[in-house]
Amino acid sequence: MTSRIDGSKIARRIRASVADRVAEAARSGRVPGLATVLVGDDPASAVYVAAKRRAVREAGMRDFHRQLPERATQLEVATVIDDLAHNPDVSGILLQLPLPAHLTAAALIDRIPVAKDVDGLTTASAGRLARGERGLRPCTPSGVIELLDAEGIELRGACVAMVGWGELVGRPLTQLLLRRGATVSVAHEFTADLAAVTRPADIVVVATGVRGLVGPEHVKPGATVIDAGIHRTSSGLTGDVRAAELDGIAGRITPVPGGVGPMTIAMLVVNTLRAAEWGAERQAVPA
Ligand SMILES: Nc1nc(=O)c2c([nH]1)NC[C@@H]1CN(c3ccc(C(=O)N[C@@H](CCC(=O)O)C(=O)O)cc3)C=[N+]21
């Protein structure tokens, strides 16, 4: 029997507990706020940003949004970020990716102060994670850790195959897993014998952006499979894993939709609260 890990349910629980803490902070006049910055009108990005803003409002936080045209210049986007960086009502800033091709994402991300970096994507946050220092962690990786914890899956000593080494998921998640005591093998879409890496694993995490890359030939019977991929197809949303073919092989699997995606949003809400808590003491870096 393969059981489906209900990310939507776990995410709901996390968001409700944040809402309680926000209500408490609000009684002493401190309402956390998230600023989302969206450049251009990519339809998928618009859907994600709308979902993030809704989650923020539902948690009782303030929703600041800046919409810029597709043709916005590097300087225009930088000016908007600087303005939000200086606004004391803004606890966290999220620059939605991908940006239009004429913009340099890294330079813009790095204008976000580390204490407001709710996406955990600045050079400073990445460095803090690499060094094991306090800081805000990227949302999808911390969401995956929360999912595994909620399922009661032991990480210390576990054998994990991380498929994908991207900046958003694979790389930071590898570090979080190592820090929790897992043995992590990192592979990707060009790994010559992917099954040789993934078959011994107790937990297989896939985040490559390659639709259907992982199937039954890659998974040990009873293993946990976490699918961080998301693809919009004519027949709906699907991931990097051929989930249907894993039925009866995997012990547990995250569905797409309803698995990792909702956890990403829940952790953004968590990070916004954390940023607000530490932002209360300016300059401080969140845990
Ligand atoms: N600066 C930045 N930070 C991000 O965290 C970021 C980003 N840019 N760019 C795009 C990716 C993608 N991403 C998702 C968030 C939620 C779902 C999600 O909630 N998915 C639902 C389905 C929702 C739907 O698409 O209909 C689910 O899987 O159940 C998916 C994908 C965050 N991203």
278 annotated as belonging to a binding site for a ligand: no
Whether 119 is a known active-site residue: answer yes
**Active-site pick, 42, 63, 96, 110:** 96
CB neighbours of residue 37 within 10 Å = 22
State the pLDDT at residue 282. 56
Whose tokens are 């995606």? That residue is 261
Q: Is the CB of 5 under 6 A from ligand 1?
A: no
Q: What is the pLDDT of residues 258-281, one digit of tens each?
A: 999 999 999 999 999 999 998 776
- Is the ipTM higher than 0.85? The answer is yes
**220 tagged catalytic:** no
Using a 6 Å cutoff on CB, does residue 265 contact ligand 1?
A: yes
Helix boundaries (H) for 137-193 = 139-150, 170-179
CA distance linking residue 63 with residue 152, whole number of Å? 34
Task: Encode pLDDT of 151-171 as tens digits.
Answer: 999 999 999 999 999 999 999
**What pLDDT is attached to residue 287?**
53
pLDDT tens profile 189-220: 999 999 999 999 999 999 999 999 999 999 99
Q: The dihedral of CA 258, 263, 266, 272: what is its sign?
A: negative
Long-range contact list for 281-284, CB < 8 A, 24+ apart? 282/115, 283/115, 284/115
CATH superfamily for domain 139-261: NAD(P)-binding Rossmann-like Domain (3.40.50.720)
Whether 112 shows a pLDDT value over 90: the answer reads: yes
CB-ligand 1 contact for 195 (6 Å cutoff): no
Helix (H, G, I), strand (E, B) or coil at 287: coil
**Among 3.30.70.3280, 3.40.50.10860, 3.40.50.300, 3.40.50.200, what is the CATH number of 28-115?**
3.40.50.10860
- The domain limits of the chain are 28-115, 139-261
**Per mean pLDDT, which range of 82-86, 128-132, 221-225, 281-285 is the poorest?**
281-285
The radius of gyration computed from the CA coordinates of the chain, to the nearest angstrom, equals 19
- pLDDT class for 59, splitting at 50, 70, 90? very high
The response to whether 230 counts as a known ligand-binding position is yes
Q: For tokens 């949302």, what's the residue?
A: 139
